[in-house]
Structure 1
Amino acid sequence: MPTGIIINVAAIFIGGLIGGLAGHLLSERFKEEINLIFGISSMVMGIIAIAPTKNMAAVIFAIIIGTALGLILHFGAWINRGASLMQRGIAKIAPVKSEIPEDEFMSTLITAIVLFTASGTGIYGSLVNGMTGDATILISKSILDFFTAIIFAANLGYVVSFIVVPQFIIFYILFLLAGFIYPLTTPAMIVDFKAVGGALMLATGFRMTKIKIFPTADMIPSMLLIMPFSWAWINWILPILAN
């Protein structure tokens, strides 16, 4: 059962409703400073995920090569275009009147869509939930997403709650795919997979705190590479190094 996905979807939906209803009561200073706390929390989750890494070299290779591929293929740009298309459909269902300029409104909404539907943490958490039944990552993410949805909805309105529709579809597909992937994995490969997800969580935390704007969307292909890289490292490289 996709427990973590359901909890994550519910957290964002409820947070969006609360933010749309009472967001005007929050000061700009509060919104800005609480976002820093979200960023630090994401970093903590990332560090915990990276710590048990079994094959650090495979993890590093996957991050570097995966991000390079993402940049070459303009993976982040494609995600932003998809988010823009989602926004148009969502806006028809939940039109909103906002005091912020239209360009800024669109940019902020696309950021929210990407954050909730295409984040490394969400993809990583959905796959782990499907592979092992462990919903801890998504539940932890849900706590952050609940308050983040409130902050976004304070500026954008109830439209934030409708982001859960594409989010659930994407996460559930990943959850189902994980069932086919898991039998082909080993415990070490799963730990390495979590470590790459942790790196994406760290990068997300840096973005949220505006310390450094990492290309987190372009880093997502790293999560596709880490499993075969980890397998190759264990079965091909380590035996050579042992001789």
Structure 2
Amino acid sequence: MIGPLINAGAVAVGGIIGAAFGKKIPSRVSEALPLTFGLASMGIGIALIMKVNTIPTVVLALLLGSLIGELVKLEYYIEKLSSKLRNFVDKPNHNTVLYDSHDQFIERYVALVVMMCTGGMGIFGALNEGITGDASLLITKAFLDLFAATIFAITLRYSVALIAIPQLVIQGGLLLMASFIQPLITPAMIADFSACGGMIMLATGLRICHIKSFPVANMLFGLILVMPISALWLHLI
């Protein structure tokens, strides 16, 4: 659990630093760097998409995953929870200024949760550590997340630090499951899983850059479905 703990700790520390000292950082920096992170998310997404083994399985997983997400209203409940977290952690008073409007906060916060918790590097880093014991990927991601959390916390405040909780749960769960699912995973399944995660990362980047507001949280079920669909496709076809 070394990697997940370091990564979650970096997010928590970055969120606290950004919220506490955000006023000392020039506004041009806090406005420009989120766009850079959005661009990086799109670039990583495209790189992961290029690893695809079977395009139909990835498309089918995304479609079915998005359908399930819309039916259970996953993004809606994440947005509601995000609002409650903001009101609880960053409750306005005479000493606190909430820089973003409610809509701006939800737009960025949900995208940030998806980017930090379900990004390809984090997921594969957790799986890799569970299988090989090598935490280097998650430690590398921790440095990236430290800076990202610091910058986004300038406007999103202390709520960013709380992202460390779902991130630790997701990465820790994947790490623990890795030893059990390892015998069932094939290179083709991993390739399709990468491509599916890349699609979501690309959509996340577009959302952070305010190009198109994709319901990225509703797409997350596709990550659960893509490996079984890929295995079934290879078996039947």
TM-score by length of 1: 0.79
Give the residue type in structure 1 aligned to 2:182: Y
* Pair 1:217–1:96, CA change in 2 (3 A): farther
Q: Find the counterpart in structure 1 of residue 97 from structure 2.
A: 99
Distance 2:182 2:123 in 1: 9
Distance 2:82 2:98 in 1: 19
By how many angstroms is 1:96 displaced? 9.6
Alignment of 1:136-151 (within 5 A): 138=138, 141-151=141-151
Give the residue type in structure 2 aligned to 1:98: T
* Pair 1:143–1:38, CA change in 2 (3 A): farther
TM-score by length of 2: 0.81
**Cα-to-partner distance string for 1:108-162 (whole Å, 9 max, x where unaligned):** 27953x4454448536545423433376764565444323322232235445334
Task: Tell me whether 1:122 sits opposite 2:118 in the alignment.
Answer: yes
Distance 2:49 2:94 in 1: 40
Q: Find the counterpart in structure 2 of residue 213 from structure 1.
A: 213
Q: Find the counterpart in structure 2 of residue 54 from structure 1.
A: 53
Q: Does the aligned pair in 2 maintain the 1:58–1:230 contact within 8 Å?
A: yes
State the SS of the aligned residue for 2:160.
helix
- The count of corresponding residues between Structure 1 and Structure 2 is 232
* Structure 2 unpaired stretches of 5+: none
Distance 2:146 2:161 in 1: 10
By how many angstroms is 1:71 displaced? 1.5
* Pair 1:235–1:58, CA change in 2 (3 A): same
**Cα-to-partner distance string for 1:20-60 (whole Å, 9 max, x where unaligned):** 33211223332121111111111111111111211111111
Distance 1:86 1:183 in 2: 39
Distance 2:21 2:219 in 1: 35
Alignment of 1:23-34 (within 5 A): 23-34=22-33
Bigger shift: 195-204 or 181-190?
181-190
Bigger shift: 118-127 or 202-211?
118-127
By how many angstroms is 1:76 displaced? 1.1
Q: Does the aligned pair in 2 maintain the 1:2–1:175 contact within 8 Å?
A: no
- RMSD, aligned CA: 3.1
Q: Does the aligned pair in 2 maintain the 1:9–1:168 contact within 8 Å?
A: yes
Distance 1:148 1:60 in 2: 30
Q: Does the aligned pair in 1 maintain the 2:90–2:96 contact within 8 Å?
A: no
Q: Find the counterpart in structure 2 of residue 76 from structure 1.
A: 75
